[in-house]
Amino acid sequence: MLRILEQKNLSAYQEIVSQCSLSEEVQMHLSEAIDDNDVVKGWILYSYQPEKVILYAMNDGGDWNYCDGLIRSVLFKAELKGIEQAEFLERNPEIRTRIEKLGFVKNNQNLLEKISEVMENCQKCKENPVNT
């Protein structure tokens, strides 16, 4: 079973964090997708702002499920904080394509206006008998 856990120690990701060119006031967060053997299969780098969560970069290992799971875990945590918008700054074209095809953004936009709508759609997906 895949687990998505926040990694408190970002030392292994310093090169990636530094590429984001952020001010020191921004508190970065990173979550990892970890398999049953405790192997990291992917990660996502993000920060919470008062009005939105910003997703800077990710590595989903080319796996659509990891991409979806990593993003949804961040959106879920943002929603619990009362944040309704998400901004996607990922520049990798393959990951950008997955983000758009998974329905997080549309028309090459960077902003998801309503996290709650995406999370509601996730609930509808669970209720679909095809997915049980």
Mean pLDDT for the stretch of residues 61-72: 94
Q: Which domains does the chain have, with CATH numbers?
A: 3-131 (3.40.630.30)
Mean pLDDT for the stretch of residues 62-86: 95
Q: Other C-beta atoms within 10 Å of 111: how many?
A: 11
Both tokens of 132, joined, read 């049980």
| Residue 74 vs residues 6, 28, 31, 128: alpha-carbon distances, Å | 10, 12, 8, 23
Q: Give the C-alpha separation, 17 to 79, whole Å.
A: 24
Q: Give the C-alpha separation, 80 to 76, whole Å.
A: 6
Q: pTM higher than 0.95, yes or no?
A: no
Mean pLDDT for the stretch of residues 34-53: 94
Q: Give the C-alpha separation, 20 to 45, whole Å.
A: 10
Strand partners, 31: 6, 44
What is the percent of the chain where pLDDT is above 90?
67
Strand partners, 132: none
Q: Give the C-alpha separation, 77 to 6, whole Å.
A: 11
Look at residue 81 in the predicted model and tell me its pLDDT: 95
Main-chain dihedrals φ then ψ at residue 57, nearest 5 degrees: -160, 155
Q: Average model confidence (pLDDT) for the chain? A: 87
Contact 74, 107 (CB under 8 A): no
